[in-house]
Amino acid sequence: MDRKTLVNHIRQRRSCLCVGLDTDPSKIPAGLDVLTFNKAIIDATRDYCVAYKPNLAFYEVLGSKGWDILAKTVDYIGKEHFTIADAKRGDIGNTSGYYATTFFDTYGFDSVTVAPYMGKDSVEPFLQHDGKWAIVLALTSNAGAFDFETLTAEGKPVYAHVLEKCSQWGTPNNTMYVVGATRAELLAEIRKVVPNHFLLVPGVGAQGGSLEDVMRHGMNDDIGLLINASRSILYASSGPDFAEAAAAEARSMQQAMAQFIS
Amino acid sequence: MDRKTLVNHIRQRRSCLCVGLDTDPSKIPAGLDVLTFNKAIIDATRDYCVAYKPNLAFYEVLGSKGWDILAKTVDYIGKEHFTIADAKRGDIGNTSGYYATTFFDTYGFDSVTVAPYMGKDSVEPFLQHDGKWAIVLALTSNAGAFDFETLTAEGKPVYAHVLEKCSQWGTPNNTMYVVGATRAELLAEIRKVVPNHFLLVPGVGAQGGSLEDVMRHGMNDDIGLLINASRSILYASSGPDFAEAAAAEARSMQQAMAQFIS
């Protein structure tokens, strides 16, 4: 999906919500399988979001059948939503190339999250597919973000080096960055470095970030945000009304976003 | 596999060779499938190496059947060799926990390569399984290693921060580090920071690192090295004699190593 189409979806639905499909078999209602649950969540939230983000760990742990469930989930999402393989891949060039092929061609995702530690040749293979995106980890929402990402290196934090260098390798049309909502106070700073890029923002909801703060500090002229919620939507209810509860939670987030999207 | 068993294998075989199973369907002899090729390589190299390292990208790209091939490959390797899932995973805590479960429990690997960018809670879940190992990226063998890994942060390179912090989280009995052979001149420096840990060293062979330099600068009292070769062994011949050629290449490396292992 190209940037223009994504921005159109955001404006039409007045939403920049991304629903994270971190589907945990131990948390879904008894008797349901992962694919059936995913389909119900997708049907319930489709009108309120612009993106879906399956978290690969939750599918890989199921063995090869998890990958079949993943493929069927992506297929069920269809073409009207931006799809993110939250896989955090990154390796030497030829290997990253295989990961890009896997997620873009074999599974048809629009984007993959990419770990930047190994540098340029580990990121570039994700930038060479038309209409596809690398979403590079910059400043994440977890406690460990303060171990290496925020080290001061040559006058600025490591994550700022990541933003600057990756922005030389790619463009705002094929590169996004992960910036955690739990660091909303830094969003304004980050916007100075990457004013035009989309940011994928996890950490709203279960992890405690404020949606309003993220909208206020993170938006650009094209909105420029995909705000992810996973557990707060998927497990809004553990009962048979889980899909209605997920819809209500997604609608509530969409309505909060709509106040900022004219 | 615990450290004592690994060290015994190294001393008995006088080898610290790890064979990288980066099996590329476009490079194996016509008419062979990936699993058959892997089995032939394993049979040919078993006596000369102590570890096997399937590169996950090459299996993921095949879709769900790639994961079945991976499982059968690990099973075929058996328990007399150390197994490494070269997956470079790393995510927030609960997600890293699922990756650990996937590779240690679902697939039975001894170890997983782990990307450190997201910090402590992304690494720790790999350290909580008895007899299993996290192999953390420190200084890699690719050109992009100079983009972020070698940035000077608070007086030392980022990779040195990774070595020091990860060594607080784990022990030399459950943590190893990736240090590229193409940086052999830095191995002596790295040994000062992590004298007791095992290092997984890629980059010998096709990537140009010197095996002798790595042995000379990298060994510790327990040898402490796993030196990986992938393409130079797998594709030593593209003809029907590929297995004999792989055996010859692996034997040649083992003999070079044996001069350093008494």
Provide the pLDDT for residue A8: 98
Distance CA A12, CA A23 (A): 28
- pLDDT tens-place string over residues B198-239: 999 998 876 777 899 999 999 999 999 999 999 999 999 999
How many domains are contained in chain B? 1
Sheet containing B156-157: give its strands across. A156-157, A152-153, B152-153, B156-157
What CATH number does residue B207 fall under?
Answer: 3.20.20.70
Mean pLDDT computed over every residue of chain B? 96
Verify whether residue A165 is a known catalytic residue.
no
Residues of B in Cβ contact (< 8 Å) with A109: none
Question: What is the Cα–Cα distance from A104 to A84, expressed in whole angstroms?
Answer: 10
The DSSP element (H or E) to which A51 belongs, if any, is strand A51-54
Q: What is the pLDDT of residues B1-41, one digit of tens each?
A: 999 999 999 999 999 999 999 999 999 999 999 999 999 99
Cα–Cα dist A199/A180, whole Å: 9
**Which residue from A minimizes the CA distance to B104?**
A61
The predicted-structure confidence for B126-181, as pLDDT tens digits, reads as follows: 999 999 999 999 999 899 999 999 999 999 999 999 999 999 999 999 999 999 98
Domain ranges, residue A13: 3-258
- What tokens appear for A107 in the block? 């599974």
Judge whether B205 and B231 are in contact, CB under 8 Å: yes
Rounded to a whole number of angstroms, the distance from the CA of B57 to the nearest CA of chain A is: 5
Judge whether residue B255 has pLDDT over 90.
yes
Using the structure block, give the residue that is written with the tokens 């007045």: A14
Instruction: Determine contact, residues B131/A144, Cβ cutoff 8 Å.
Output: no
- B228-240 residue pLDDT tens: 999 999 999 999 9
What's the CA dihedral at B3, B5, B11, B15 to 10 degrees?
A: -80
CA angle B197, B203, B206 (to 5 degrees): 155
For residue A204, the model assigns a pLDDT of: 87
Instruction: Work out the number of other CB atoms within 10 angstroms of the CB of residue A239.
Output: 8
Cα R_g (chain B), whole angstroms: 17
Alpha-carbon distance B110 to nearest alpha carbon in chain A (angstroms): 16
Q: At what angle do helices A34-45 and A242-258 cross, to 10 degrees?
A: 40
Phi, psi dihedral angles at A39 (to 5 degrees): -60, -40
Instruction: Locate the chain B residue with the closest alpha carbon to A231.
Output: B94
Chosen from A106, A113, A142 to mutate, greatest number of chain B CBs within 10 A:
A142
Catalytic member of B27, B39, B53, B88: B88
Digitized pLDDT (tens) for each residue of chain A, 262 residues in all? 999 999 999 999 999 999 999 999 999 999 999 999 999 999 999 999 999 999 999 999 999 999 999 999 999 999 999 999 999 999 999 999 999 999 999 999 999 999 999 999 999 999 999 999 999 999 998 999 999 999 999 999 999 999 999 999 999 999 999 999 887 788 999 999 999 999 999 988 767 778 999 999 999 999 999 999 999 999 999 999 999 999 999 999 999 999 999 8
pLDDT value at residue B143 = 93
Distance in Å, alpha carbon of B101 to nearest chain A alpha carbon:
7
